Chains A and B, each alone.
Chain A
Amino acid sequence: FTAVVAIKWLTDGEEEQPLQAVLVADSFNRRFFPISKDQPRALLPLANVAMIDYTLEFLTSTGVQETFVFCCWMSNKIKEHLLKSKWCRPTSPNVVRIITSDLYRSLGDVLRDVDAKALVRSDFILVYGDVVSNIDVTQALQEHRQRRKAEKNISVMTMIFKQSSPGHKSRCEEDDIIVAMDSKTKRVLHYQRTQGLKKLQFPMNIFHSVSDEFEIRYDLLDCHISICSPQVAELFTDNFDYQTRNDFVRGILVNEEILGNQIHLYVTMDGYGARVSNLLMYDAVSSDMVRRWIYPLTPEANFTDRKGQECTHSRHNVYRGAGVSLGHGSHMAENVLIGRDTSIGANCHISNSVIGSNCTIGDNVVLDRAYVWNGVHIASGAVIRQSVLCDGVKVKERVTLNRQCVLAYNVVVGPDISLPEGTVVSMHHPDEEDEEDEDEFLSDGADNSSNQAKTKLKAFSAAEVGAEGKGYIWRPVKQDDTEDDELVQCLWGETSSCITTGVYAVFQTEVLGTLQRGMEENISCDNLVLEINSLKYAYNITLKEVMQVLMRVVLEFPFQQQGPQLAAVQYCALLLRLLKKWAPVFRNYVKRAPDQMDCLESLEEFFLEHETHWGAMVKVLMELYQLDILEEELIMRWFSDGVTSAKSRQLRKNPGLLKFIQWLEEAEDESSEEDGQ
């Protein structure tokens, strides 16, 4: 009995603080453009409920009593939505406080603001406004608190993951990570995003630490839910360059010895948690919702307690709202959710789709994996597959939408038109974008197209959206094929080309920038070395990588200056001048034999990508040899041993190179003869 009292007293003393949460209702990227131009991402409907409602429901059901909602983009709309919702009723167990500012540019800014305003008093939960989850974090929270009690606040963050094997459709490829962790303490030792990586490297020192059991896991799905201690906000303030949670995690892991902070993880088996970070995830999470994976968050639960959201659930996961009318011969095959007052004509076939409220669908319509929001009109004979149709869209007669089409707000298409796979149509002209500000989404390619497009601005193309159509195709295919793919896949989330691929790439651009400045302002080589060194520490890049990046940047330098169509001869001339100029920089980094081998490897790698410039390679080798950066012995070794592929073998058969090698051999013989004498 006394023990019970003691525990109660302890917990009473320590857990007086209500559980708080920080909800970031902004994604700080433009993955949902052009849809999110009209509506912030947190308010986009998923299974007919705004995404932020799922996040708030998750927080409330897990016991959060105070939530700070941070909004930036279209904060008024989010505020309006929240004030009308059940979360702002006086009886709500979770007090929602809305904080808006146009100055937030990243998660880092938000957390710095949390610190500045001293909003959090104890451990808090950090989530994005587009997380859908039913995980009960109580267990994780308990573990987190115990760790903090046992080890004097060493653990600053517990990240929550869901176990899910590779290949699962709800795994977001962009978020694929590999984690090395201590099996006993669940401490994260290494954390790396794997997207686009073919090779993974683990620092050896993580295996030398105290524990003797490690797990390296690739079966984790990042739920984007983390339990943070108040120190997290402070750390973001101290390190003003942290922008995302990824930066933070990497920063903590790298500086672990200095600051003594640790990050832990919690793996849940049965809860569900995913972030809707692109349209593929939107598709996956919607279908999980309709298939009841997120029970008790199901469409018919009407957890938002809104009038008119009620629906019934019947066999094969068919959900029907009030006042739905279904024409004769129409068939709702499976996993269909239909909102209130929607009418469907005769002989339609609907499967795996979500249809909002007040929609009108004509006869003989086929919908498969279609996400139709509110107030959409689909005329007879339309065929729609795996597409998103936003509010107020009109699809005229006999229109076919192939996979991964997106019709943003109030677009009209048709009649009698077939939109190719991946078409994105919006009422906003893509060029409006350029004027607002430049971003990674519309890179250099847009400049060429905008001039042509501007001439026909404000006129809808009948060929693209049909005779009665209204809307602009984003990235017309005829102008730039590759760019178009890129945009759609960004929206649907298949490639990474528009997001930064990691520290390595950033470092490379930084080095390039430094060298360019060095060139323009004629900075001395010593200072350049100094700058590159500081960058190396800032981005935590190994010496070897610095070398590879440097080599690559210098080799690409002429292309950067003169454009990619540079002929081999000019390229060679420019490059040789650069090499001479920056020889001291190279000498600083390329000292030992392994450095030279690395240097040669990256040289080879670069020229394998630029076949037309093989002639220049010999000259570069010659120059580097003469500048005493590379030794003949190592060039020989590279030539004989470094063959990795058929192409590199071919490279070694280049007559120029052969001649150079022969010359080297002779020179060596001579020198050795001289030595002998």
Chain B
Amino acid sequence: MPGTDRETDLSERTEAFLAELKRSGGGAGPLRGSGETARETVALLRKITAQARWSNAGELMEIVRKEGRRMTAAQPSETTVGNMVRRVLKIIREEYARSRGSSEEADQQESLHKLLTSGGLSEDNFRQHFAPLKGNVIEAVNELLTELDGTTENIAMQALEHIHSNEVIMTIGRSRTVEAFLKAACKRKFHVIVAECAPFCQGHEMATSLSEANIETTVIPDAAIFAVMSRVNKVIIGTQTVLANGGLRAVNGTHTLALAAKHHSTPLIVCAPMFKLSPQFPNEEDTFHKFVSPQEVLPFTEGEILSEVNVHCPVFDYVPPELITLFISNIGGNAPSYIYRLMSELYHPEDHEL
């Protein structure tokens, strides 16, 4: 039967993706590229939409939600996956509303009165069957994929507005977005100081890559961040996740950097594509942190001392929103206080909990 064949193929692909998610991030974690993960997630969801058995939007949403829960559980620190699931759910809602003839986006959260009376926009509304829904959803998901493909360029395009000649810019670790952002400005002459970001020292790779693009680059140890900060004009960093309150979950050491920048009143710019925006709040759950093998901090070869001490190697820092000056995303620059608005544009409030 071709139907079952297709379904086993689908579940095989899902399993493979889950397994990959679980094993990803051995060590440096975010370096696998959230962009890639986002694209893979959306591609998989598109496949699910195309191949799974569903007859109306409600069923499809239930399937997507179920798979989404499994995917987020596989690697809780990779919030991109959950974000993409929410985006697809939102697409399904919109397409359903469009098929029905009403414009869902317009009347969503319009007034307090509406919020109170609508009371749990129940899924009964999604039970109606529309033949073209599948095609419309897939088309909209394809648009989302195109948007994802262009995020890094869209961010990099804004570089010249922010980086001026003879500026000294500090960054930490390695972020693909920041790398592209800085390289996009390389026709101007400026100086980049890279904090190495021990113990994984992704900063070294970043510095090599930047100097290959003829950008004047200096690597400093993390301990020197404060000392060097007085010379810095701007701090430009990447992040792993943008949280719902406008804070960040970024690579370890970012909080130090942000505090030093605040002390010297240096502007802190965060380059983050929109798919990193997550409806999660800080300290919401235990999965906020991610601890990896202590190998990099104290190598296994040390011998006896390892049985005497506990070594921890956390990967992420929380940076509160008041330390951040500006977010640069693929849709332009925004202040941290505006994040809530972006959040409501991107995700449906009912999808915050998958």
Is the beta-carbon distance between B295 and A270 smaller than 8 angstroms?
yes
Is the beta-carbon distance between B22 and A163 smaller than 8 angstroms?
no
Partner pick for A295 among B19, B286, B293, CB 8 A cutoff: B293
Q: How far is the CB of A285 from chain B (nearest CB, A)?
A: 13
Query: Which residues of chain B in 88-107 are interfacial with respect to chain A, using CB atoms and an 8 Å cutoff?
Result: none
> With A and B bound together, what is the CA distance between A312 and B286 in angstroms?
6
Q: How far is the CB of A111 from chain B (nearest CB, A)?
A: 29
Q: How far is the CB of A463 from chain B (nearest CB, A)?
A: 36
Is the beta-carbon distance between B26 and A134 smaller than 8 angstroms?
yes
Q: Is B353 an interface residue (CB 8 A)?
A: no
Is the beta-carbon distance between B15 and A93 smaller than 8 angstroms?
yes
Q: What are 8 contact pairs spanning A and B, CB under 8 A?
A: A90-B8, A93-B16, A165-B301, A165-B303, A169-B306, A272-B295, A272-B300, A291-B294
Q: Is B124 an interface residue (CB 8 A)?
A: no
Q: Is A296 an interface residue (CB 8 A)?
A: yes
Q: Which residues of A have CB within 8 Å of B24?
A: 296
Is the beta-carbon distance between A168 and B303 smaller than 8 angstroms?
yes
Contact with A along B283-324 (1 / 0, CB 8 A): 001110101111100011111101100111100000000000
Q: Which residues of A have CB within 8 Å of B306?
A: 168-169
> With A and B bound together, what is the CA distance between A162 and B294 in angstroms?
16
Q: Is A420 an interface residue (CB 8 A)?
A: no
Q: How far is the CB of B345 from chain A (nearest CB, A)?
A: 32
Given contacts A165-B302, A313-B286, 8 further A-B contacts (CB under 8 A): A91-B15, A165-B301, A168-B306, A291-B311, A294-B293, A295-B291, A317-B291, A317-B312
Q: How far is the CB of B102 from chain A (nearest CB, A)?
A: 40
* Closest Cβ neighbor of B292 among chain A residues: A295
Contact with A along B61-91 (1 / 0, CB 8 A): 0000000000001000000000000000000
> With A and B bound together, what is the CA distance between A191 and B315 in angstroms?
40
Q: How far is the CB of A486 from chain B (nearest CB, A)?
A: 25
> With A and B bound together, what is the CA distance between A310 and B73 in angstroms?
10
Query: Which residues of chain B in 6-38 are interfacial with respect to chain A, using CB atoms and an 8 Å cutoff?
Result: 8, 11-12, 15-16, 19, 22-27
> With A and B bound together, what is the CA distance between A308 and B15 in angstroms?
19
Q: Which residues of A have CB within 8 Å of B311?
A: 291
Partner pick for A169 among B25, B307, B312, CB 8 A cutoff: B307
> With A and B bound together, what is the CA distance between A335 and B308 in angstroms?
13
> With A and B bound together, what is the CA distance between A93 and B311 in angstroms?
34
> With A and B bound together, what is the CA distance between A165 and B22 in angstroms?
30
Is the beta-carbon distance between B293 and A163 smaller than 8 angstroms?
no
Is the beta-carbon distance between B291 and A313 smaller than 8 angstroms?
yes
Partner pick for B304 among A167, A310, A312, A313, CB 8 A cutoff: A167
Interface size on A, residues (CB 8 A): 37
Q: How far is the CB of B218 from chain A (nearest CB, A)?
A: 28
> With A and B bound together, what is the CA distance between A674 and B291 in angstroms?
89
Is the beta-carbon distance between B292 and A163 smaller than 8 angstroms?
no
Is the beta-carbon distance between B300 and A293 smaller than 8 angstroms?
yes
Is the beta-carbon distance between A164 and B300 smaller than 8 angstroms?
yes
Is the beta-carbon distance between A335 and B286 smaller than 8 angstroms?
no
> With A and B bound together, what is the CA distance between A291 and B294 in angstroms?
8
Q: Which residues of B have CB within 8 Å of A169?
A: 304, 306-307
> With A and B bound together, what is the CA distance between A291 and B309 in angstroms?
10
A→B interface (CB under 8 Å): 60-61, 89-93, 134, 162-169, 219, 269-270, 272, 291-296, 301-303, 310, 312-314, 316-317, 334-335
* Closest Cβ neighbor of A165 among chain B residues: B303
Q: Which residues of A have CB within 8 Å of B73?
A: 302, 310
Q: Which residues of B have CB within 8 Å of A294?
A: 293
Is the beta-carbon distance between A334 and B303 smaller than 8 angstroms?
no
Is the beta-carbon distance between A164 and B292 smaller than 8 angstroms?
no
Is the beta-carbon distance between B303 and A292 smaller than 8 angstroms?
no
- Sorted nearest first, the 4 A-B pairs with minimum C-beta distance are A165-B303, A295-B293, A167-B304, A312-B286
Query: Which residues of chain B in 255-308 are interfacial with respect to chain A, using CB atoms and an 8 Å cutoff?
Result: 285-287, 289, 291-295, 299-304, 306-307
Q: How far is the CB of B76 from chain A (nearest CB, A)?
A: 9
B→A interface (CB under 8 Å): 8, 11-12, 15-16, 19, 22-27, 73, 285-287, 289, 291-295, 299-304, 306-307, 310-313
Most buried by A among B286, B289, B299: B286
* Closest Cβ neighbor of B313 among chain A residues: A292
* Closest Cβ neighbor of B299 among chain A residues: A269
> With A and B bound together, what is the CA distance between A296 and B20 in angstroms?
11
Is the beta-carbon distance between A295 and B26 smaller than 8 angstroms?
yes
Is the beta-carbon distance between B16 and A167 smaller than 8 angstroms?
no
Q: Which residues of A have CB within 8 Å of B23?
A: 61, 296
* Closest Cβ neighbor of B13 among chain A residues: A91
Partner pick for A163 among B25, B26, B287, B300, CB 8 A cutoff: B300
Is the beta-carbon distance between A164 and B293 smaller than 8 angstroms?
no
Given contacts A60-B19, A91-B11, are A166 and B303 in contact (CB under 8 A)?
A: yes
> With A and B bound together, what is the CA distance between A270 and B301 in angstroms?
9
Is the beta-carbon distance between B301 and A164 smaller than 8 angstroms?
yes
> With A and B bound together, what is the CA distance between A272 and B15 in angstroms?
25
Given contacts A270-B295, A293-B295, are A335 and B301 in contact (CB under 8 A)?
A: no
Q: Which residues of A have CB within 8 Å of B25?
A: 296
Q: Which residues of B have CB within 8 Å of A166?
A: 303
Q: Which residues of B have CB within 8 Å of A303?
A: 22
Is the beta-carbon distance between B301 and A91 smaller than 8 angstroms?
no
Q: How far is the CB of B32 from chain A (nearest CB, A)?
A: 12
Q: How far is the CB of B302 from chain A (nearest CB, A)?
A: 7
Is the beta-carbon distance between A164 and B12 smaller than 8 angstroms?
no
> With A and B bound together, what is the CA distance between A334 and B295 in angstroms?
19
Given contacts A91-B12, A168-B300, are A296 and B26 in contact (CB under 8 A)?
A: yes
Q: Which residues of B have CB within 8 Å of A162?
A: 300
Q: Which residues of A have CB within 8 Å of B22?
A: 296, 301, 303
Partner pick for A293 among B285, B286, B289, B293, CB 8 A cutoff: B293
Q: How far is the CB of B270 from chain A (nearest CB, A)?
A: 27
> With A and B bound together, what is the CA distance between A378 and B345 in angstroms?
54
> With A and B bound together, what is the CA distance between A91 and B303 in angstroms?
41
Is the beta-carbon distance between B300 and A292 smaller than 8 angstroms?
no
Q: Which residues of A have CB within 8 Å of B27?
A: 270, 295
Q: How far is the CB of B289 from chain A (nearest CB, A)?
A: 8
* Closest Cβ neighbor of A287 among chain B residues: B307
> With A and B bound together, what is the CA distance between A272 and B287 in angstroms?
24
Q: Which residues of A have CB within 8 Å of B285?
A: 312
> With A and B bound together, what is the CA distance between A163 and B25 in angstroms?
23
Given contacts A164-B303, A219-B301, are A334 and B310 in contact (CB under 8 A)?
A: yes
Q: How far is the CB of B268 from chain A (nearest CB, A)?
A: 28
Q: Which residues of B have CB within 8 Å of A269?
A: 299, 301
Partner pick for A291 among B16, B287, B302, B310, CB 8 A cutoff: B310
Q: Which residues of B have CB within 8 Å of A163?
A: 300-301
Q: How far is the CB of B48 from chain A (nearest CB, A)?
A: 15
Given contacts A168-B306, A169-B306, are A292 and B294 in contact (CB under 8 A)?
A: yes
> With A and B bound together, what is the CA distance between A314 and B300 in angstroms?
23
Q: How far is the CB of B334 from chain A (nearest CB, A)?
A: 33
Partner pick for B291 among A61, A167, A270, A292, CB 8 A cutoff: A292
Q: Which residues of B have CB within 8 Å of A317?
A: 291, 310, 312
Q: Which residues of B have CB within 8 Å of A296?
A: 22-26, 292
Q: How far is the CB of B257 from chain A (nearest CB, A)?
A: 23
Q: Which residues of A have CB within 8 Å of B11?
A: 91
Q: How far is the CB of A288 from chain B (nearest CB, A)?
A: 9
> With A and B bound together, what is the CA distance between A317 and B293 in angstroms?
12
> With A and B bound together, what is the CA distance between A373 and B318 in angstroms?
37
> With A and B bound together, what is the CA distance between A296 and B11 in angstroms?
23
* Closest Cβ neighbor of B296 among chain A residues: A270
* Closest Cβ neighbor of B303 among chain A residues: A165
> With A and B bound together, what is the CA distance between A272 and B292 in angstroms?
13
Most buried by A among B24, B291, B294: B291
* Closest Cβ neighbor of B12 among chain A residues: A91
> With A and B bound together, what is the CA distance between A90 and B307 in angstroms?
42
> With A and B bound together, what is the CA distance between A291 and B16 in angstroms?
27
Q: Which residues of A have CB within 8 Å of B294?
A: 291-293
Q: Which residues of B have CB within 8 Å of A316?
A: 310
* Closest Cβ neighbor of A163 among chain B residues: B301
Given contacts A272-B293, A312-B287, are A168 and B304 in contact (CB under 8 A)?
A: yes
> With A and B bound together, what is the CA distance between A303 and B19 in angstroms?
8
